[in-house]
Amino acid sequence: MPAARVHSAPDRATLLRTGAFAAMLATAGLPLYIHLPRFAGSELGLSLGTLGALLIALRIFDLVQDPFLGRLVDRFPVARGGFAALAAAGLAAGFVMLFSLAPPTAPALWLALSLMLLFTAFSLATILLYGQGVALAGAGGGHFGLAGAREAGLLAGVILAAAAPSALAALLGSDRAYVAFGFLLAALALGIWAVTRPLWGPARRSIAPLSLASLRSSGAGGLLLLALLNATPVALTSTLFLFFVEDRLALPALAGPFLILFFAAAGLSAPLWGALAGRIGPRASLLAGMSLAVLAFAGAVTLGPGDALAFALISAASGAALGADMVILPALFAAALDRAGLPAGQAFGLWAVASKLALAAAAALALPLLEIRGYTPGGPNGDGALATLTFAYAVLPCLLKLGVIALLIFQPLPGART
């Protein structure tokens, strides 16, 4: 197996630019899944079942698209700056199409076209950011340091995009909030692209082809499977977060503050998890974070109307647990690619597929199930419908996370102390 390259650790400017680009990227990730169920119903008149089917169809498209984008990035390494500009422009146009323009045709078709553009731009930006990180990370603990900056930026972007509609509704009125939201995110994408252009310097040249065998032998394949399974519980809670707060807890006015608390805890904890992984090892750090997530999910099962303080504590704990997942696993994956000399663009194309499959699977499973059980967002719901909401939001993620913990105990982690 090829030896890892020796290069200098990223400087402060690189870390700041990485965090800023990650913040731009994050606005098209989890926030879309947080806002789409409500937006598609209230603004476009689409049912939860229709939205779930549309999301899983677009994820099938990603199965082909993301690996292709990864190969394209690896094939033309000197064009990464141009690819970054294209990704930012795609995000800007997609946000305006989705949130700011009235559908000129059938709402479902317009939504599909808008999301296809956003998801393509998101995939390209994700592959660029994570793949370039292999070249930027440097030796020693560079992967964890860069991952901490990147994930802190990602979570800052998530906080902004998750909370902005509520803030804009308070300032401009609910009828104009989503229109302004689309233009705000578009301006953010273009502005951040302008200040992060120095990131796209020479890329590391791969010296080994990507294949199932090379992924397996490097240890990256096992990490990819672990990341896919580990992302599903968070995807479920993200998709159902607003529903749980509004209809189970009956605290719609606190949805924004809860989101900010959740992602602030994740962002603040991200550098700490990276430091902890360097001190006690990635496996022990991941097990600690996942165990914290299980406790948080289990606590949410017991909540009912008005339990604001308890849910605030759960939001902070689950956010801190997310910080561990988002720092340690991508850093281990990047380090494994670096040691084996594998093409980072193609590999992170597969990583992007895994992440988005988890989100889509959560939506495709949970949204139709809630509709079948008679759940109506914001409407009158019986005990059975609310029990199903609690099961999908808290019980199922807890069970899935326990399965991931069992896998992690026996999963070899390349380069990690056990």
Question: Phi and psi (nearest 5°) for 23?
Answer: -60, -40
Of the ranges 42-46, 208-212, 367-371, the best mean pLDDT one = 367-371
Query: What is residue 2's predicted lDDT score, i.e. its pLDDT?
Result: 41
Query: What is residue 143's predicted lDDT score, i.e. its pLDDT?
Result: 67
Give the DSSP letter string of 28-62: TSHHHHHHHHHHHHHTT---HHHHHHHHHHHHHHH
Query: What is residue 140's predicted lDDT score, i.e. its pLDDT?
Result: 46
Query: What is residue 117's predicted lDDT score, i.e. its pLDDT?
Result: 93
Residue 167 has pLDDT above 70, yes or no: yes
| Position with higher pLDDT, 3 vs 160 | 160
Residue range 161-179: mean pLDDT, rounded: 85
SS3 state at 290: helix
Query: What is residue 204's predicted lDDT score, i.e. its pLDDT?
Result: 57
**Is there a contact between 262 and 298 (Cβ–Cβ < 8 Å)?**
no
Residue 189 has pLDDT above 60, yes or no: yes
Q: 37 falls in which pLDDT band (50, 70, 90)?
A: confident
- In the chain, what is the straight-line distance between the N-terminal and C-terminal CA atoms, in Å? 21
d(CA 370, CA 374): 6
Q: How many CA atoms lie within 13 A of 410 on its CB side?
A: 4
Query: What is residue 3's predicted lDDT score, i.e. its pLDDT?
Result: 40
In total, how many domains does the chain have? 1
Residue range 153-177: mean pLDDT, rounded: 84
SS3 state at 379: coil
> Per-residue pLDDT tens for 374-399?
888 777 888 888 898 899 899 999 99
Question: Phi and psi (nearest 5°) for 9?
Answer: -70, 155
Q: 240 falls in which pLDDT band (50, 70, 90)?
A: confident
The angle at the Cα of 126, spanning 51 to 280, to the nearest 5 degrees, equals: 110
Residue range 152-168: mean pLDDT, rounded: 83
> Per-residue pLDDT tens for 283-314?
999 999 999 999 998 999 999 999 999 999 99
Q: How many CA atoms lie within 13 A of 292 on its CB side?
A: 23
Query: What is residue 87's predicted lDDT score, i.e. its pLDDT?
Result: 95
**In-domain check, residue 142:** yes
Domain that holds residue 350: 12-410
Residue range 29-48: mean pLDDT, rounded: 75
Contacts of 43 (CB under 8 A, 6+ apart): 178
Name which of 297-301, 342-346, 400-404 the model is least confident about: 342-346
Query: What is residue 291's predicted lDDT score, i.e. its pLDDT?
Result: 94
| Position with higher pLDDT, 126 vs 47 | 126
Query: What is residue 60's predicted lDDT score, i.e. its pLDDT?
Result: 76
Percent of the chain with pLDDT over 70: 92
Residue range 321-329: mean pLDDT, rounded: 86
Query: What is residue 234's predicted lDDT score, i.e. its pLDDT?
Result: 84
Q: 142 falls in which pLDDT band (50, 70, 90)?
A: low
> Per-residue pLDDT tens for 47-78?
777 777 787 777 778 777 888 888 888 888 88
| Position with higher pLDDT, 195 vs 368 | 195
Residue range 150-174: mean pLDDT, rounded: 83
Query: What is residue 353's predicted lDDT score, i.e. its pLDDT?
Result: 76
Q: 148 falls in which pLDDT band (50, 70, 90)?
A: confident
Segment (H or E) for 238? helix 220-243
**In-domain check, residue 5:** no
**In-domain check, residue 307:** yes
d(CA 67, CA 39): 30
Mean pLDDT rounded to a whole number for the chain = 82
d(CA 79, CA 91): 19
**In-domain check, residue 133:** yes
**In-domain check, residue 313:** yes
| Position with higher pLDDT, 350 vs 306 | 306
Residue 261 has pLDDT above 80, yes or no: yes
Q: 214: domain CATH number?
A: 1.20.1250.20
d(CA 315, CA 169): 23
**In-domain check, residue 415:** no
Residue 137 has pLDDT above 70, yes or no: no
Residue range 212-234: mean pLDDT, rounded: 84
**In-domain check, residue 1:** no
| Position with higher pLDDT, 197 vs 35 | 197
**In-domain check, residue 4:** no
| Position with higher pLDDT, 349 vs 223 | 223
Query: What is residue 90's predicted lDDT score, i.e. its pLDDT?
Result: 95
